[in-house]
Structure 1
Amino acid sequence: MSEIRSWQPMVDTNAARLLRTTGRTPAEWATAAREAGITGRDELSHWLKDQGVTGYNLMSVDWEVFGLPEFFLRSADELYDGQYADRPHLKPIADRLLLWAAETPGTVIQMRKTYVSLQTSRRKFAQVTPTTRTAVDLFFRLAVPDLPGLEPVRTSDPFAWRIRLRREEDVDDAVLRALSAALEDSLGSSSA
């Protein structure tokens, strides 16, 4: 059975990265920021950058000082249910895709606020998004051969290919083979 994650692993990973790269925990940085009189996000960002703390490390301190975004506090189930709250007729499509992911070794299901990321330990290989009120889009990093309906998407994101799924039956053998091919590509890739 695959692992299903909420935002918590990202929060934990960022905190561990901050400790590893700076020698201080988010709480220690937050205390130092408060002692420096920091009261706003922009002020904190500038102060941290002056200290050499940027990127994910900066986010970790920001969350400690100002709190996590509300949706970070939701469970994986709450995030998933929220994506389909106003379009429950589409959830069976996503359920079929996630069933495949849950049963496929090497796949991690990462819940987000507006989509579900399917990933390996190396990188994301597909994304399930209820893009419209009538369809779930399955995005891929690569152009999967022999997948009817696959189309390019104009984006700066590496997920430049999608298939639009409108019915549960659209999640057929061709779609599942495409997911397997994308998974294999991700497992064999050296890029993150």
Structure 2
Amino acid sequence: MAEAARTWKGMIEMCQGLLVRKTGQDRAWWAARARAAGVLDDRALAEWMGSEHGVTGYARYAVSWEMFGYPEFMLRDADELFAGQYEDREHLRPIGEAILAWAGEADGVTVQMRKTYVSLHSPRRKFAQVAPATKSAVDVALRWEGPAPERLEPLRARPGDPFAWRIRLRSADEADEELFSLLAAARDQNS
């Protein structure tokens, strides 16, 4: 059975757990202390927690979200995140659905839903990113090693970005066996 797509819930839980492991206290305890210290915004919280208590990064996010709220997209489930990606381009949704169907059946693939894209992970790391890139196309960016097959196009990536290749899909017919073979190869390269 395929694993359910991951959402931001896991990130929230990870940050909360990290805070407790680092400090021995949970987000409610830290939020109460910050309020008592007169902290009124996120910048002040970052300064107060970092300079006075040595709590930074992901652990601090748990307190920030407790005090100031979560970004709306972080509270969406997987279906809502996916629907939002294709909200103004429904005609492209079958492409994304075909890739999700492949990922759900492929061995060793975990799906991570984000606000504007879906990432596909091997047990080791992310190997593909799927996004409705334009009003008429879905891009599958790949972490690819070695000579690139003809179907891969180079991406203008930031220096050091491992996702330097893409496959641009304009119809569900292009989500074909060749695409799924390339996704499987990228997964295997990154496992």
Asked whether the two chains share a fold, i.e. TM above 0.5, the reply is yes
Match of 1:9 in 2: 10
d(CA) in 2 for partners of 1:42, 1:128: 33
d(CA) in 1 for partners of 2:122, 2:11: 15
Match of 1:171 in 2: 175
| Displacement of 1:124 | 1.2
SS in 2 for 1:2: coil
The answer (yes or no) to whether the contact 2:145–2:189 under 8 Å persists in 1 is no
Structure 1 residues 184 and 36, CA, compared in 2 at 3 Å: closer, same or farther? same
Q: Which amino acid aligns with 2:162?
A: P
Structure 2 residue ranges without an equivalent (≥5): none
d(CA) in 2 for partners of 1:9, 1:160: 27
The answer (yes or no) to whether the contact 1:146–1:174 under 8 Å persists in 2 is no
Structure 1 residues 134 and 181, CA, compared in 2 at 3 Å: closer, same or farther? same
d(CA) in 2 for partners of 1:171, 1:130: 14
Length-normalised TM-score, structure 1: 0.91
d(CA) in 2 for partners of 1:91, 1:147: 26
1:92-121 deviations in whole A, cap 9, x for unaligned?
111111100001122111111100011134
d(CA) in 2 for partners of 1:9, 1:180: 25
Match of 2:47 in 1: 46
The answer (yes or no) to whether the contact 1:142–1:161 under 8 Å persists in 2 is yes
Percent sequence identity over aligned pairs: 48
SS in 2 for 1:149: coil
SS in 2 for 1:3: coil
Structure 1 residues 143 and 122, CA, compared in 2 at 3 Å: closer, same or farther? closer
Q: How well do the aligned residues superpose, as a CA RMSD in angstroms? A: 1.5
Identify the range of structure 1 (139-148 vs 112-121) with the bigger mean alpha-carbon deviation. Answer: 139-148
d(CA) in 2 for partners of 1:26, 1:120: 31
Moved over 6 A (4+): none
d(CA) in 2 for partners of 1:18, 1:86: 38
The answer (yes or no) to whether the contact 1:2–1:101 under 8 Å persists in 2 is no
**How many residue pairs end up in the alignment?**
187
Structure 1 residues 121 and 30, CA, compared in 2 at 3 Å: closer, same or farther? farther
Structure 1 residues 121 and 12, CA, compared in 2 at 3 Å: closer, same or farther? farther
Length-normalised TM-score, structure 2: 0.92
d(CA) in 2 for partners of 1:30, 1:131: 39
